[in-house]
Amino acid sequence: MTGSDPELVEGLGPGTGRNGAPLVGALPPGSRLLHIGLPKTGTTVVQRGAALNRDTLAAHGVCYPGSGFNHRDQTAALMQRPLGWRGRGAKLHARPVWDALMREAVSKASWRDGRTFISHEFVCESTDEQARRFVDELDPEHLHVAITLRGYADLLPSNWQQFVKSGHTGHFEDWLADALDGRTRRPTIRTFVRRNDQTAILRRWIRLLGADRVSVVIADKGRPTQLTDAFEDLLGLPRAATAARPAGGYVANRSLSAAEVELVRRINLIIAERGYDWRRYTSLIRHGVIARMQECRQPGPDEAPLLLPEWAADRALQIAGRHAEAIAASGCRVVGDLSALTAPVRTVTSAAAPTELPVDAAREAVAGLISATEGRGPFFDQAADGVEGRRISDPRLERFVGADGARQVLNAYRATRHLDGSTMAGVLAHRVTDAAGRLRQRLSGRASPASRP
């Protein structure tokens, strides 16, 4: 392994250091760990693991504040970053959205005696001034920043897919030419460069905090648990504390095949012609067509993935090499092997768009669109008006558990009401067993009076 931490050892399996030691030492009590991405570097796995195990984290003195999957809205509020298409329905969260998260975090004992964990990949887009806001809010004496990285060449197809899933209409090779040149003023290219200039992002946070308060964690396909292991270690958690059951394709954000992404791109052309706004696009396409394809089908072995053409891979690997050299020279802590950032990728001679679509992909796309048009989400399992069509609320329930708690209860009810009685009983039994296990773990961790020093 490469990095400034002497405990990192070459050649050991994921999740262990010398003699089974952690990958990296825990941050001091009172630390605030800010995970800033980059996008498409395993952020979903880290965030989902923390969100689904909030109680376990809390039992070990770690606060993952809020009730959502991640902290997108809150960090965007502090950055004053719009979410969606500017001028066509983008949403700008007000500063109080961030302030509410901070009030919760500060109210916990973990703010002083434990650790606080905040995560969203949009933070990597921060300007110097926006980054300074996070430093000031989270206190430079207690803040530590974690940056997750993946090979630059490997990132390009994933990023282009993500832009297409947000309405982009251009062709892959045209986008690649601009992205690898980096000088165009097209919005998607500016966004890509801002999110993926690994050297610039690292140097920005080192300038603000110092190299000793910045960690780079490598997303390595050969070591699939390395990301979660590293975050568990930084937060002082036992191994597998953020483990989560396998997610479906929608929640896990499964990559689209080349044919699937071309279908979405062509739909985007129609959406652009019709002038739909961001909310409508999100409701029908992102949470309808795309969600249904991701969840309800798995591309077969003969269905081509989206791959870089040879010329783009060559150029991307040169850029990746420069980033790896800058990271190695930065003095920050590196968890993982920097050579993973420059690993060769599969290529094709030409990235020409597919002209054929598997029938089952078309079927699921149409089904998702129909369900979303009826306001029932992508799977025909939501109330007639759906999440996008009306505000989910119940004043009586809110009086007992608050607005956020009421929305969680109502969404959980809506998501599980299609289950039969025996399945629901199994779910409840699992929840009771899980809660009992956590209680036993908490009680066993308390020393008896006689054993205390």
Structural domains in the chain? 32-253+308-348 (3.40.50.300), 256-305+352-379 (no CATH), 383-441 (no CATH)
Question: How many other C-beta atoms are found inside a 10 Å radius of the C-beta of residue 384?
Answer: 9
pLDDT in tens, 352-382: 899 999 999 999 999 999 999 998 889 887 7
pLDDT in tens, 408-432: 666 565 555 545 566 566 666 666 7
Rounded to whole angstroms, the Cα distance separating 122 from 268 reads 23
Q: Which of 96-100, 181-185, 210-214 has the lowest mean pLDDT?
A: 181-185
Backbone φ and ψ for 139, nearest 5 degrees, come out as 75, 110
Give the residue with greater pLDDT, 41 vs 432. Answer: 41
Rounded to whole angstroms, the Cα distance separating 23 from 258 reads 36
Q: Mean pLDDT across the stretch 135-161?
A: 97
Report whether pLDDT(239) > 80: yes
Estimate to the nearest angstrom the gap between the alpha carbon of 435 and the chain centroid: 27
pLDDT in tens, 253-288: 899 999 999 999 999 999 999 999 999 999 999 999
Tokens of 340: 């993973």
DSSP 332: -
Rounded to whole angstroms, the Cα distance separating 340 from 427 reads 40
Which amino acid belongs to residue 73? D
Q: Which of 8-12, 77-81, 92-96, 309-313 has the lowest mean pLDDT?
A: 8-12
- Split at pLDDT 50, 70, 90, the class of 89 is confident
CB-based contact 4:338 (threshold 8 Å): no
CB-based contact 337:221 (threshold 8 Å): no
Report whether pLDDT(11) > 50: no
